């Protein structure tokens, strides 16, 4: 295998050393301290200087002098008109599928009488304003615009603010503007990176402060989301893309499997891709296809760097070892090309999303199936879930006691209140309990 397409790890699971295990299971990117410090400084500037900091970041990081941060609606319309109808049709179809799948997941309000005369409810309400980040450094991400905006709209959010980095003309690409229009965003700003996350979380002269900031991004975006997490709701740590392909002999063509690895590796040199199989001959065939695919891709540089930094080709002793590895990896995307992918899926708790069978390429989910592609990375799928309409809702409970309910509960509540040394609570309960009927009539 040429140096360019050689993965960082190539061998048997049983023979992995500690360093290799760390690389596979602790996939945080960059020098955590360095990225954290740089991001903290950028966020502090957004807080103190607002829009001025964002104009400066556009100059420094995007290489463009902006006249304005906001992209007006006329430009969205012009973008829609300028694009091929195939692109508009594809965006529209993706938006429709995202809406169908996310609407089906909206939670229902709850009302329960827990004791006679004591009724409780839980209601879900949309957040007022939310910020959706769509990346735009090494590629344009209209698909991420839809993945954030459409579920927010399905949840009933009124103000949906998109931020995405400016291109050389001072605006995100026309496809991003078109996606904002098709998805139903309300405002769009040509702002990228940590600056965008800070602006959406704190508010600036131009950008409204949002109750939630969601969306994927590179190491700086990821770090910035984590640093503002105490002030606003964020979704999962959706950082540089990942895939784990799990395959058994005869379940998919080696070229398809290698293509899955190359597809996610082409996002970012920080991407992590791994392949695990029980078959030595399939491993060899995928190794060969990877070499061919890397040599052929126009994004060779990014793919080769990702592969050589966080790429892995692994041989498992048996099906058990293969699935145990997959569970421990907790990948953003897991592709199961095994004899019984449904049964294997049912045994998993840690994936971001699972693709079942050889036909189910991650690319379908990245763009069009309607499941959300904004997913936890770096093993955080152990704890976090992918973006959904739930991220745009908050809930509160309500409680109603009738006179009968109050009478039934007053004594035991007073007992607990006195046990806690809080006599005021005991009095409030007893007052209702004793003469509840008379007092309320
Ligand atoms: N996990 C998911 O759900 C998911 C989904 C889609 C994309 N992604 C990931 O999103 C990422 C997109 O990355 P991208 O770079 O293409 O776009 P991006 O928009 O995330 O990053 C571009 C921005 O990074 C900032 N930046 C660049 N260099 C900087 C520096 N030296 N210091 C501080 N800030 C700097 C700039 O502000 C720039 O606008 C990829 O890693 C991709 O894999 C993840
Ligand atoms: N694979 C990315 C999530 O890691 C999503 C995406 C958008 N466009 C292409 N792919
Ligand atoms: Zn992708």
CA–centroid distance for 207 within its chain: 22
Position 127 in a domain: no
The answer, yes or no, to whether any atom of ligand 1 lies below 6 A from the CB of 386, is: no
ipTM score for this prediction: 0.99
User: What residues form the annotated binding site for substrate?
Assistant: 241, 264, 267, 333, 366, 420, 425
State which residues form the domain around 424: 402-440
CB count within 10 Å of CB 174 equals 21
Same domain, yes or no, for 225 and 321? no
Q: CB of 257 within 8 A of CB of 288?
A: no
Same domain, yes or no, for 213 and 232? yes
Instruction: Kindly list the averaged pLDDT for each block of 10 residues, start to end, along the chain of length 441.
Output: 78 97 90 90 98 98 97 97 98 98 98 98 98 97 98 98 97 98 98 98 98 97 96 96 98 97 97 98 98 97 97 98 98 98 98 98 98 97 98 98 97 98 98 66 40
CATH of the domain at 355: 3.40.50.1980
The answer, yes or no, to whether any atom of ligand 1 lies below 6 A from the CB of 266, is: no
pLDDT, residue 31, reads 72
Position 125 in a domain: no
pLDDT, residue 4, reads 63
pLDDT, residue 284, reads 98
User: For ligand 2, which residues put their CB under 6 angstroms from it?
Assistant: 141, 143-144, 241, 264, 332, 366, 373
pLDDT, residue 441, reads 40
Give me ligand 3 centre to Cα 279, in Å.
Answer: 27
Same domain, yes or no, for 13 and 49? no
pLDDT, residue 32, reads 72
pLDDT, residue 440, reads 45
Position 119 in a domain: no
The answer, yes or no, to whether any atom of ligand 1 lies below 6 A from the CB of 158, is: no
Position 65 in a domain: yes
Same domain, yes or no, for 20 and 165? no
Ligand at shortest distance from the CA of 259: 3
Of all protein residues, the one whose alpha carbon is nearest to atom 4 of ligand 2 is 241
pLDDT, residue 439, reads 47
pLDDT, residue 1, reads 57
Position 387 in a domain: no
Q: What is the count of structural domains for the chain?
A: 3
Position 344 in a domain: yes
Neighbours of ion ligand 3 (CB under 5 A): 366
Which of 42, 57, 61, 363 is the best mutation target for the ligand 1 pocket, counting ligand atoms within 8 Å of the beta carbon and taking the most?
61
Position 48 in a domain: yes
pLDDT, residue 435, reads 59
Catalytic-role residue among 86, 332, 404, 439: 332
In the residue annotation, 332 being an active-site residue is answered as yes
């Amino acid at each position: 295998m040429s140096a360019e397409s050689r993965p960082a790890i190539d061998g048997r699971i049983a023979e992995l050393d500690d360093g290799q295990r760390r690389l596979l299971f602790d996939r945080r990117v960059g020098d955590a301290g360095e990225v954290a410090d740089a991001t903290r400084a950028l966020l502090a500037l957004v807080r103190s200087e607002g829009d001025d900091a964002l104009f400066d970041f556009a100059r420094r990081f995007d290489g463009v002098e902006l006249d304005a941060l906001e992209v007006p609606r006329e430009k969205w319309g012009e973008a829609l008109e300028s694009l091929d109808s195939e692109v508009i049709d594809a965006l529209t179809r993706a938006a429709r599928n995202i809406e169908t799948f996310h609407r089906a997941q909206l939670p229902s309000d709850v009302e329960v009488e827990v004791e006679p005369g004591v009724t409780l409810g839980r209601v879900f309400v949309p957040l007022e304003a939310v910020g959706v980040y769509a990346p735009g450094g090494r590629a344009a991400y209209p698909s991420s615009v839809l993945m954030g905006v459409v579920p927010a709209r399905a949840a009933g959010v009124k103000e949906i603010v998109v931020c995405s980095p400016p291109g050389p003309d001072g605006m995100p690409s026309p496809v991003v503007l078109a996606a904002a229009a098709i998805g139903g965003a309300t405002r769009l700003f040509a702002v990228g990176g940590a600056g965008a996350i800070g602006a959406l979380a704190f508010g600036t002269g131009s950008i409204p402060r949002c109750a939630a900031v969601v969306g994927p991004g590179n190491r700086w975006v990821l770090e910035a989301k984590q640093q503002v997490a105490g002030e606003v709701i964020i979704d999962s740590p959706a950082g540089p893309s990942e895939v784990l392909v799990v395959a058994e002999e005869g379940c998919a063509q080696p070229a398809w499997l290698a293509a899955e690895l190359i597809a996610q590796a082409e996002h970012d040199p920080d991407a992590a891709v791994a392949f695990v199989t029980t078959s030595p001959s399939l491993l060899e065939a995928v190794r060969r296809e990877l070499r061919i695919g890397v040599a052929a891709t126009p994004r060779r540089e990014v793919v080769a760097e990702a592969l050589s930094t966080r790429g892995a080709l692994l041989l498992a002793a048996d099906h058990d070892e293969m699935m145990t590895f997959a569970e421990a990896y907790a990948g953003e995307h897991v592709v199961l090309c095994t004899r019984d992918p449904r049964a294997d899926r049912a045994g998993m708790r840690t994936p971001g999303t699972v693709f079942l069978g050889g036909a189910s390429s991650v690319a379908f989910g990245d763009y069009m199936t309607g499941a959300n592609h904004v997913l936890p990375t770096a093993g955080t799928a152990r704890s976090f879930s992918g973006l959904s309409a739930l991220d745009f809702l908050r809930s509160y409970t309500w409680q109603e006691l009738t006179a009968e309910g109050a009478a039934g509960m007053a004594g035991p509540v007073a007992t607990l209140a006195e046990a806690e040394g809080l006599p005021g609570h005991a009095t409030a309960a007893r007052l209702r309990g004793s003469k509840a009927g008379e007092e309320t009539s």
